[in-house]
A and B are shown apart, each in its own frame.
Chain A
Amino acid sequence: EIVLTQSAASLSLSPGERATLSCRASQSISSYLAWYQQKPGQAPRLLIYDASNRATDIPARFSGSGSGTDFTLTISTLEPEDFAVYYCQQRSNWPWTFGQGTKVEIK
């Protein structure tokens, strides 16, 4: 099973700041990585697929990069609605797995 490690359990940032979230895979997953945002009491929302492609209606301030084992989600300028938990997920190998999540909280 591929383990995805999100190095930060939480990030404390202010609106307007840049957020950089990381996700490391236990073995190469090519570019088969997605990022999701989840707010309390809600379902996850797809942000980025295949490492760097924004999903439909996702603002341009969200961007993804990386390949192989190291991936990054960047939020260029945090808006109030961006404070949430972010998960990475791989579809390279069975079973598909998620990272444990990074909570972006207001400083």
Chain B
Amino acid sequence: EVQLVESGGGLVQPGGSLRLSCVASGFTVSNNYISWVRQGPGKGLEWLALSYSNGDTHYADSVKGRFTISRDNSRNTVFLQMNSLRGDDTAVYFCARGRGAAGGTFDYWGQGTLVTVSS
């Protein structure tokens, strides 16, 4: 069974950092695309970052230079390092497996982890 489990969310002050983890089971991240998507409180979905199976990455402009996606294939885990956090980064963060060309269709999602940026 394919599963994705996020962790690492919590309360952080503006300007602070957090690292989110996404542990996969039922498939190997090494040959799959994994994205991070977030949802602000009462808001819609926003794609943030993609990790290609070959290790390349792609980012939304809103997080480029602040967030870094990476993977540890030995742990079947993808990470999202978030720096210089702002209030508008408050959201539930989901990781999702991508299918199709460049992994742009998300067929499995984790349950999400809540990040709250507040002083």
Q: Do A and B bind each other?
A: yes
Residues of A within 8 A of B (CB): 32, 34, 36, 42-46, 49-50, 55-56, 87, 89, 91, 94-101
From A32, A43, A95, A99, B110 is in contact (CB under 8 Å) with: A43
Residues of B within 8 A of A32 (CB): 104
Residues of B within 8 A of A101 (CB): 44-45
Residues of A within 8 A of B106 (CB): 34, 36, 44, 46, 89
Q: Closest A-chain residue to B104, C-beta based?
A: A91
From B99, B104, B107, B112, A96 is in contact (CB under 8 Å) with: B104
Interface-central residue, A46, A87, A89, A96, by most chain B CB under 10 Å: A96
B107 and A43 form a contact (CB under 8 A): no
Interface-central residue, B35, B58, B94, B104, by most chain A CB under 10 Å: B104
Residues of A within 8 A of B107 (CB): 46, 49, 55-56
What is the CA–CA distance of A100 and B44 in the complex, to the nearest angstrom? Answer: 5
A98 and B44 form a contact (CB under 8 A): yes
Residues of B within 8 A of A (CB): 35, 44-47, 58, 60-61, 94, 96, 99-102, 104-107, 109-112
What is the CA–CA distance of A45 and B4 in the complex, to the nearest angstrom? Answer: 13
B89 smallest CB distance to A (angstroms): 16
What is the CA–CA distance of A34 and B105 in the complex, to the nearest angstrom? Answer: 7
From A43, A45, A46, A97, B47 is in contact (CB under 8 Å) with: A97
From A45, A91, A94, B109 is in contact (CB under 8 Å) with: A45
Residues of B within 8 A of A100 (CB): 44
Q: Closest B-chain residue to A85, C-beta based?
A: B44
A84 smallest CB distance to B (angstroms): 14
A91 and B44 form a contact (CB under 8 A): no
